[in-house]
Chain A
Amino acid sequence: DVKVTQSSRYLVKRTGEKVFLECVQDMDHENMFWYRQDPGLGLRLIYFSYDVKMKEKGDIPEGYSVSREKKERFSLILESASTNQTSMYLCASSAPANTEAFFGQGTRLTVV
């Protein structure tokens, strides 16, 4: 059974904190993605990576950064959390030969 695992289901952080969201996949996929999911706005791509140490900005990268030191792990970093970053964050992975994206269970982040 293919798996994308996000380290936390729920997180509550204070404004200004540095936040790390971790994602691990066990499918040896080259591509990994971070989305945020908001009602009425759908899924918006924050960053994606097509290889280790490679990253590309998505549609809404402001206030976020990412790290991909190993193929199976893709981290999303909020340098200084703000209340407008309260959201559901979804990680996904895919292989170049198979365009289906596999999603994690999501992390609901609340910034207070």
Chain B
Amino acid sequence: AQRVTQPEKLLSVFKGAPVELKCNYSYSGSPELFWYVQYSRQRLQLLLRHISRESIKGFTADLNKGETSFHLKKPFAQEEDSAMYYCALLPSGGYQKVTFGTGTKLQVIP
């Protein structure tokens, strides 16, 4: 069975500092990885996925198959980045059952 681990429950950084939200996964095949974000009083929404290789709101994430990691990074944190971030994994093939991590709350200090 697949598993997603986000080791930090809370990450506090100062505005302008770099951000790295960690995500490690365990899965024997080739999964699709995602980052979802939930801003205060808003619904959970997709931030980015590894197959698109794009930068969204300044965030990037690279899939490292050797380390089974998909860390989310941003060079300069903004106050509006404060939110709950979830890493998620979709197994290859079969039904689309997504597994989420436990989430990391990012707090950007002004």
Contacts and interface: CB of A to CB of B under 8 A. Distances in A.
Are A and B genuine complex partners? yes
Interface size bracket, B side: 20 to 34
A52 B71 CA distance: 36
B43 A105 contact: yes
B98 A42 contact: no
26 contacts: A4-B43, A33-B98, A40-B9, A40-B102, A42-B86, A42-B100, A43-B44, A45-B97, A45-B98, A48-B95, A48-B96, A90-B44, A92-B44, A94-B96, A96-B96, A99-B90, A99-B96, A100-B34, A100-B46, A100-B49, A101-B36, A101-B98, A102-B45, A103-B43, A103-B44, A104-B43
A51 to B, nearest CB: 10
A102 B98 CA distance: 12
Nearest to B101: A42
Interface string B85-96: 010001000011
Interface string A71-112: 000000000000000000010101010011111111000000
